[in-house]
Amino acid sequence: MAAVNLNNLLHIVKSLSLFILSLDLFLEGADGSSSQEVDQHLDMGKKLLAAGQLAEALSHYHAAVDGDPSNYMTFREIRFRRATVYLALGKSRSALPDLDKVIELKPDFTHAVIQRANVFLKQGKIDAATEDYKRVLQNDPSNQDAHRNLDIIGPLREQFETAQHFFDNGEFQPAIDILTQIIEISPWDSGLRELRAECYMAQGDLFKAIGDIRTTTKLLSDNTPAYLKLSLLHYDMGEADESLIQIRECLKLDPDHKDCFAHYKKVKKLVKQMNSIQEMINEQRYMDCVEKAKQMRETESQKHFYILRTMSHRCHCLSKAGHVDDALKACNEILNVDPNDVGALADRAEAHIANDQFEEAIKDYEQAQSIDQNNRRIEEGLNKAKKLLKQSQKRDYYKILGVKRTARKKEIMKAYRKLAAKWHPDKYEEKDREKAEKMFIDIAAAKEVLTDPEKREQFDNGEDPLDPEQQSGGQGGPFWHQGFNPFGSGQGFQFKFHFN
């Protein structure tokens, strides 16, 4: 039994030795193959880098780094080249680990130390940059880049302290001027940009503040405070859609962020209401628009821009709905706040037209046109108001029937029947019949125009469809145009007093 065990043991040892030998040969071949592939990736990376194809070069350097990390010389070169590509792409945070590794492998590699020092300087890490530049000078005392940048670093700390002093004392423009100079040297310092953004916000220049804060979202990872601030700034500027986009970025990074979620709920609701109002306007659901504007005001009752917007929607939709008195009141409210609101001027002008106040409408349109000379709506409205004013000095079918311009066909017919019954010539003696006939003709003409959608539209646009002077080829008196004759045809006409 012992002999068998010994033989088995010798067999196992022999088999294990053969396996180890085979594994060594395999690894040696694999290393050769891996080394060859690494060289290929390195060569491709160099060619693509020289051609300016940075992203493609970076992918080959990734493959090369992963391929043979045990090769000291190749590994060091690849990491340095990859760091160079990262820097060219503006990804300093990704470049630093490669530079750190290269310097660890070769502490006297001057080019790598200079590159890292430059990164530290751009990031505003003054102490770290100073240490690296001095390290370069220990190995290369005549290095001009190191000398020059140390001279630059010298006054930076004092400049920053001065800028901070100006900011603390409310002197924002001097602070901005100094911070701008420092940022030119250290553009990747998020703290500098945050401070300058605060200065811009204090001056009310939210657009420039947004530019600086947006940059910090790229300089710092998971920068939820920046996305929240961006969202709030866009919201204050009246850009609710963009505010919603930015607050969603915050929640992508931290779904449980309390402040971001609270603002998200509010701005999402507001954007939905604003979109609904626009849909209602497009669909001519004007009273629904008025109600939705009221809800929007309840959602946001503090921010000036959104208050003006709800007032503008009320002015516009009430005017379009024909609620003249309410429209004039709503439009006056917004124009008391902003007398140059072109939309409100146009809406009030339309309300004036519906109220037969043509001269007032012309004044509003002319004021709006002086602000926006290329506005087609204003131009067309002004022409219409002028035509209606001229028309009102002749014959106004709405006044004849005593109905408003917003009256529906049912109201028009009711007024017509009442007046036609009152002025029917058969009811009058010979001495009063001529006056009654004239009144009856005018009443019938008004009914003819106002119950015909096409003719009514012509009249509403300042053109009398029964006036031959305004119609091509018109002949005869104004009320017989296109065959219109309330008395029929032939001699000896007898009035018949019948109304259906």
Of residues 275, 266, 319, 320, the one with CA closest to residue 293: 275
Picking from 7-11, 134-138, 397-401, which range would have the lowest pLDDT averaged per residue? 7-11
Helix, strand, coil percentages for the chain (3-state, nearest 5): 80, 0, 20
Please give the pLDDT value at position 223: 95
Q: Residue 202: enclosing H or E segment and its boundaries? A: helix 190-203
Of residues 33, 101, 27, the one with CA closest to residue 67: 33
The yes-or-no verdict on residue 343 having pLDDT over 90 is yes
Q: How far is CA 63 from CA 67, 75, 79, 87, 143, in A?
A: 6, 11, 11, 18, 34
Please give the pLDDT value at position 471: 60
- What is the distance of C-alpha 231 from the center of its chain? 12
- Tell me the pLDDT band of 53, cut-offs 50, 70 and 90: confident
Of residues 379, 325, 370, 369, the one with CA closest to residue 348: 325
What single-letter DSSP state applies at residue 477? S
Phi, psi of 126 (to 5 degrees): -65, -45
The yes-or-no verdict on residue 498 having pLDDT over 70 is no
The overall longest dimension of the chain from CA atoms, in Å, is 154
Rounded Cα–Cα distance for residues 330 and 18 (Å): 96
Cβ pair 320, 286 in contact under 8 A: yes
Q: What is the pLDDT of residues 410-469, one digit of tens each?
A: 999 999 999 988 888 888 888 788 888 888 898 999 899 999 999 998 888 888 888 776
CB atoms within 10 A of CB 190: 19
Q: What is the pLDDT of residues 10-47, one digit of tens each?
A: 444 444 344 333 334 333 444 444 677 777 777 787 77
Q: Is 233 exposed, middle or buried (0-12, 13-18, 19+ CB in 10 A)?
A: buried
Q: Is 57 exposed, middle or buried (0-12, 13-18, 19+ CB in 10 A)?
A: buried
Please give the pLDDT value at position 394: 76
What single-letter DSSP state applies at residue 426? G
Phi, psi of 303 (to 5 degrees): -75, 125
Rounded Cα–Cα distance for residues 189 and 157 (Å): 13
Average pLDDT across the chain, whole number:
84
Phi, psi of 71 (to 5 degrees): -85, 105
- What is the distance of C-alpha 67 from the center of its chain? 46
Q: Which DSSP string corresponds to 436-470? A: HHHHHHHHHHHHHHHTSHHHHHHHHTT--TT-GGG
- 36-41 long-range contacts (CB < 8 A, ≥24 apart) are 37/63, 37/67, 38/64, 38/67, 38/68, 38/71, 38/74, 38/78, 39/74, 41/67
Q: How wide is the angle at C-alpha 247 spanned by C-alphas 241 and 250, nearest 5°?
A: 155
Q: What is the pLDDT of residues 129-182, one digit of tens each?
A: 999 999 999 989 999 999 999 999 989 999 999 999 999 999 999 999 999 999
Please give the pLDDT value at position 77: 76
pTM passes above 0.85 = no
Please give the pLDDT value at position 55: 80
The yes-or-no verdict on residue 126 having pLDDT over 60 is yes
Q: What is the pLDDT of residues 219-266, one digit of tens each?
A: 988 999 999 999 999 999 999 999 999 999 999 999 999 999 999 999
Rounded Cα–Cα distance for residues 339 and 86 (Å): 54
Cβ pair 153, 129 in contact under 8 A: yes
The yes-or-no verdict on residue 215 having pLDDT over 90 is yes
Amino acid of residue 296: M
Amino acid of residue 66: D
Please give the pLDDT value at position 489: 38
Domain limits, the chain: 397-483
Cβ pair 215, 200 in contact under 8 A: no
Please give the pLDDT value at position 50: 79
The yes-or-no verdict on residue 368 having pLDDT over 70 is yes
Cβ pair 105, 72 in contact under 8 A: yes
CATH node for 397-483: 1.10.287.110
Name the residue with higher pLDDT: 52 or 494. Answer: 52
Q: Residue 416: enclosing H or E segment and its boundaries? A: helix 409-423
- What is the distance of C-alpha 112 from the center of its chain? 43
CB atoms within 10 A of CB 111: 12
